[in-house]
Amino acid sequence: MRLFIAARSRFAEDALDAAVAAGVRQLVVLGAGLDTFAYRNPHSAMGLTVFEVDHPSTQAWKRERLAAAGIDPPPSLTFVPVDFAQRTLTDGLRAAGFDPHRPSFFSWLGVVPYLTRENVFATLRSVAELPGGAEIVFDYGDPPSALPPDERAAHDVRAARVAALGEPWLTYFDADQLAADLRDTGFTTVEDLGRSALAARYFGAPANTPRQPGAHVVRAVSSTRQR
Ligand SMILES: C[S@@+](CC[C@H](N)C(=O)[O-])C[C@H]1O[C@@H](n2cnc3c(N)ncnc32)[C@H](O)[C@@H]1O
């Protein structure tokens, strides 16, 4: 789990580096939680602005924690409080000064499992329809039924724990179906790395390691984005 969390951030930030090199200057961190990118933004001198979108209560708590730690939000950062279940992403972003006509990059890590499938695709549609073009990176899990018995048991314990905290996991995807649905939603390039591919790319595992079910990270580029 810890390696996956490190790998998904590396994957997202590598894709962001390439997007910035191609001219993107707007990053939206969706469901930012305690994400630290905005406070170590290596592209701020290039003019990369960061929009941290999060549930209003989580964002208010983060801002209290930042203040308590003496960390000033940088001028390149804008906070955007949005509950994905209540308000559309695009409305919230526009109100915060995001320009939908300029290209953008969305990082959406550790959030999709907590949303309904309907809310996930409502957000993906909003991103795919941006006239300036957009790229998004997010992560998800294979359905628990695809896991071997020991991993299924470990998954069920973690799922019960997050549900008891009031934040149940609601959504899983099958990789092939998700890729088809992303294309139907308006994304062209779809890159999906599962556990074995991540282990090969970042942790020195052999490239021919058999595919294993578990967590995935996906990069999708909208058809409106020119690269
Ligand atoms: C597990 S944290 C992930 C935080 C961070 N992106 C990371 O990778 O460490 C889940 C995040 O999803 C956000 N979230 C969950 N449901 C949400 C909703 N309905 N609207 C907005 N944000 C939501 C939470 O506020 C929280 O910041």
Of 112, 113, 94, residue with least CA distance to 104:
94
pLDDT on residue 24: 97
Tens digit of each residue's pLDDT (9 = 90 or more) over 38-61: 999 999 999 999 999 999 999 999
pLDDT on residue 189: 86
Whole-prediction pTM: 0.95
Residue 32 Cα, ligand 1 centroid: separation in angstroms? 6
Ligand 1 site, residue 61, Cβ cutoff 6 A: no
pLDDT on residue 226: 61
> What average pLDDT does the chain have?
94
Residue 132 Cα, ligand 1 centroid: separation in angstroms? 25
Q: Which residues of 133-143 are buried (b: 16+ CB within 10 A; e: fewer)?
A: bbbbbbbbbbe
Mutate to test the pocket of ligand 1, among 58, 59, 87, 126 (most ligand atoms within 8 A of CB): 58
Tens digit of each residue's pLDDT (9 = 90 or more) over 128-153: 999 999 999 999 999 999 999 999 99
Segment 92-96 shows an average pLDDT of 92
83 Cα nearest atom in ligand 1: 20
